[in-house]
Structure 1
Amino acid sequence: MTDTLVAPAGPARTTSRSSGLLRLTPTSGVGLEVALVWFSVLVLLPLAAVVGAAAAGGWGAFWGTLTDAQTFAALRLTVVEAAAVTVVNAVIGTVVAWVLVRDQFVGKRVLDVVIDIPFALPTIVAGLVLLSLYGPESPVGIDIVNTRQGIFLALLFVTLPFVVRTVQPVLIELDADVEEAAASLGASRATTFRRIILPSLVPAITAGSSLGFARAISEFGSLVLISGNTPYRTEVASLKILKFIEGDNQAGAAAVAVLLLLVAIVTIVGLDLFSRRVARRG
């Protein structure tokens, strides 16, 4: 008869991988605590304060502010213009990023630097630049002050770099051998772009578009001089918030701000879900 060896009973041992998911090192724990405190002070507490100010007047006052004809017109104009700018940026920004990465031409370095100017330029200066070029005394004979075209152009200017700078690094990291292999197997350039390149670019495109949309619906500085702020025509949400504050209507300003926040969150989540679906389907 052979002896059977039985492992001694004892508490189950967890693997290091499992315990690593549940426990943080002291250094990581401190870093996480600092990050949470920093995030709370800069983001969560101000957002909670805005939501609290919007709720101070009650649901009736909140709903009444948003359904006011003038306020609703400003919100609709803001969202529509921001959405249109986002679509244009998604296409043109991707094209610009492609040209910067895949093509070689004279002045490429200059163009690469110029794209970042809207990031570095104060938005009120951007408004002054646009006013000087496309205002009543325009040297090119184009006056778009106090028009929706002016709002659209200003939003395009300040959101230009977002898609370019999110797509550009992804294009740089794409392996050209995969494209060459697809071409050698008979795939057309359109098929290669749709099945190989685009799924890799969609997350970057949507990320840049989300940032651009959030920037557009909250833009203030570049619109002060060029929009004209005419009720029902060129008044945008950010300038409507300023009017509420100047009129000592803190709850009204907070209500508009909360709605813009919700629109931005819904848009970001929607674009993220869309990018995941496209990337998964290829």
Structure 2
Amino acid sequence: MNLTIKTLKIKQQSVIPGFGITMGISLLYITLLVLIPISMVFIKSSSLGLKNFLDIALSTRVTASLKISFGTSLLAAAINTVFGLLLAWVLQRYSFPFKKIIDGLIDLPFALPTAVAGISLTTLYAPNGWIGRFLEPLGIKVSYTPLGITVALIFISFPFVVRTVQPVLQSIDREVEEAAACLGASRFQTFCKIIIPELFPSIITGFALSFARALGEYGSVVFISGNMPMRTEITPLLIRTKLEQYDYAGGTAVAAIMLIISFVMLLAINLFQWWAVNRHKFILQ
């Protein structure tokens, strides 16, 4: 009897019919597209042996490229989080001329080939470029520096934060804000106590997506970075260099290192998001 009741409860909680077959297809899809290609990276790099693998991982050139890639990606994602939230707020809460056009322009980095974006940014920020010529007298050099890499990563990963925050911001009922105002809350208190807690999961998601997109970027960065080893060489470029030199094991070893660090960082971001959401629910209860 108890078993029958539990079975009925499971069936009632299953919204999509055919859970078994849909779950199986989903796992097969993930395995074929994600797990098998990633596993091949580790299988290929394992042919080096632990000692050679560690020698590559701890080499000066690899560690320098990892610092540049992860540092610029984190900085770009953080900047995009702040200004992406601001832009999503403006687009959602205010009406102004050409609003639809500006909203459409946000998605252009998705459609624009990354190589075209890299060439355009390099032309703009070069010492004799339209913007670079004004920055050069101030001692600010963008092209062929880590700053230029950050600018390129901001450009290509900007839409993620806006597009993840916008729908959640749209779903927040204005009456909740009006009720807070009637209870004596200031605009700042309403923003911090009501709006931000609702937006926080989507903000973290946008940050994670922006960071992941920036970390794997190659096309736009390769032009503006200058590709100088130990200074502006990113890890994806180092991997390609090793592959062009037919050092397949070395290239996959660097890729494996990058995957491990990326997985740990994204896992930490997701755990922080889970903790923040559950803490907010606990406070409300």
TM-score by length of 2: 0.89
Q: Deviations over 1:93-127 (max 9, x none)?
A: 11111011011111211110000001111111111
Q: Deviations over 1:27-77 (max 9, x none)?
A: 443333222222211111001101111211111111111111011101111
Q: Which stretch has the larger CA shift, 53-62 or 111-120?
A: 53-62
Inter-CA distance 274–51: structure 2 relative to 1 (3 Å threshold): same
Aligned to 1:29: 20
Aligned to 1:248: 246
Partner Cα distance (2:153, 2:119) in 1: 14
Q: Partner amino acid for 1:238? A: P
Does the 8 Å contact 1:85/1:156 carry over to 2? Answer: yes
Partner Cα distance (1:167, 1:24) in 2: 26
**Which residue, out of 56, 61, 84, partners 1:93?**
84
Q: Deviations over 1:220-251 (max 9, x none)?
A: 00011111110111001010101111122112
Inter-CA distance 223–132: structure 2 relative to 1 (3 Å threshold): same
Q: Partner amino acid for 2:121? A: L
Aligned to 1:184: 182
Partner Cα distance (1:25, 1:103) in 2: 38
Kindly state the Cα deviation for residue 132 of structure 1 after the two structures are TM-superposed. 2.3
**Which residue, out of 255, 258, 262, partners 2:256?**
258
Aligned to 2:94: 103
Partner Cα distance (2:17, 2:270) in 1: 33
**Which residue, out of 142, 148, 151, partners 1:150?**
148
Aligned to 2:199: 201
Partner Cα distance (2:34, 2:57) in 1: 24
Partner Cα distance (2:53, 2:12) in 1: 43
Aligned to 1:6: none
Q: Partner amino acid for 1:170? A: V
Partner Cα distance (2:59, 2:21) in 1: 48
Partner Cα distance (2:253, 2:268) in 1: 23
Partner Cα distance (2:192, 2:17) in 1: 47
Secondary structure of 1:228 counterpart: coil
Partner Cα distance (1:26, 1:281) in 2: 33
Kindly state the Cα deviation for residue 139 of structure 1 after the two structures are TM-superposed. 2.6
**Which residue, out of 224, 234, 237, partners 1:236?**
234
Kindly state the Cα deviation for residue 85 of structure 1 after the two structures are TM-superposed. 0.9
Partner Cα distance (2:90, 2:13) in 1: 46
Partner Cα distance (1:269, 1:17) in 2: 35
Q: Partner amino acid for 1:113? A: G
Aligned to 2:170: 172
Q: Deviations over 1:130-164 (max 9, x none)?
A: 12222354133256321111101000000000100
**Which residue, out of 46, 51, 67, partners 2:42?**
51
Q: Partner amino acid for 1:40? A: T
Partner Cα distance (2:275, 2:25) in 1: 34
How many residue pairs end up in the alignment? 273
**Which residue, out of 209, 213, 216, partners 1:215?**
213
Aligned to 1:135: 126
Runs of 5+ consecutive residues of structure 2 not aligned to the other structure:
136-140, 281-285
Secondary structure of 1:186 counterpart: coil
Aligned to 1:13: 4
Secondary structure of 1:235 counterpart: coil
Runs of 5+ consecutive residues of structure 1 not aligned to the other structure:
1-9
TM-score by length of 1: 0.90
Secondary structure of 1:56 counterpart: helix
Identity %: 39
Does the 8 Å contact 1:86/1:209 carry over to 2? Answer: yes
